[in-house]
Chains A and B, each alone.
Chain A
């Protein structure tokens, strides 16, 4: 009796072997490819990639905006863009009744240049359109350039797409007011320098700021 059972088990094993081998092969093929165990085959993080991207972005921004806007961004970290519309009938024609402060990777802030009154902040992003799992951001200076191009070419469209909030949701109002004060001081210094240009500086820019 026992030898007969052993023979049957052996026959079953032989018959089942191709099925088991096929199942294992299909399972191995359906698995995602494993990374090589070779330590030299690792995908290394390039710490300079983002820095180089930002450097290129700064050059592109510099080539697009005017000298004053570039100097503003370089010295203060944001750019002012004048609004195109008149806020109300009493606004003087020819004078910007409101303006935007454009920060990298932060909402655009609308304010009244004359009084410094903060109007609202517009949260807008330029997300990666790829299908990656992780959203990828533009380099900071590219983000500023994208906002600048969108505002100067089609202000209404970008403002309609943005989420509007009162200032204070992402920006600290005190910090924005301080930035406005820094901007006014910066403009005053620039005007003073323009009135009496120092020797060896062609466009009145601070020489120390040229270093990278």
Chain B
């Protein structure tokens, strides 16, 4: 999510392909270095309840995740 623009596709690829994975890892790190938060939308298998899972490392991304959403860090507002 980019302020003023909305959703922007940063990169995409198959993490099982080495070149793609390297590109995905590089972009993931770049976003976190820029201070973004990363979250993966998830669905509970049993209840069907949806929630998000924060990820701080590329290895934390669930293997079944289809996307990672980066958004600006929360800060106290007025």
Residues of A contacting B7 with CB < 8 Å?
53, 56-57, 59-60, 142
In the bound complex, do residue A149 and residue B52 qualify as a contact, i.e. CB atoms below 8 Å apart? yes
Tell me the bound Cα distance from A127 to B48 in angstroms: 32
Residues on B with beta carbons closer than 8 Å to the beta carbon of A126: 1, 3, 71-75
Closest approach, in angstroms, between the C-beta of B42 and any C-beta of chain A?
9
With A53-B5, A129-B35, A137-B4 already in contact, the answer to whether A146 and B77 are too (CB < 8 A) is no
Q: Is there a chain B Cβ closer than 8 Å to A76's Cβ?
A: no
- The interface-forming segment of A3-11, A94-102, A157-165, A202-210 is A157-165
B74 touches A66 (CB 8 A): no
A191 at interface by CB-CB < 8 Å? no
Label chain A's interface by main secondary structure: helix
Query: For residue A117, which residues in chain B have a CB less than 8 angstroms away from its CB?
Result: none
B25 within 8 A of A: no
Number of A residues, CB within 8 Å of B: 42
Given contacts A54-B6, A149-B39, A150-B37, contact A142 B1 (CB under 8 A): yes
Chain B: minimal CB distance from A193 (Å): 19
Binary CB contact string for chain A from 49 to 64 against chain B (1 if under 8 A, 0 otherwise): 1001110110110011
Q: Which residue from chain B places its CB closest to the CB of A106 in the assembled complex?
A: B77
Give Cα distance in the complex from A126 to B73, angstroms. Answer: 6
20 A-B residue pairs with Cβ-Cβ distance under 8 Å, sorted by A, are A54-B6, A56-B7, A57-B7, A59-B7, A60-B6, A125-B75, A125-B76, A126-B75, A129-B34, A138-B1, A138-B6, A142-B71, A145-B71, A146-B74, A149-B41, A150-B39, A152-B52, A153-B51, A153-B52, A161-B75
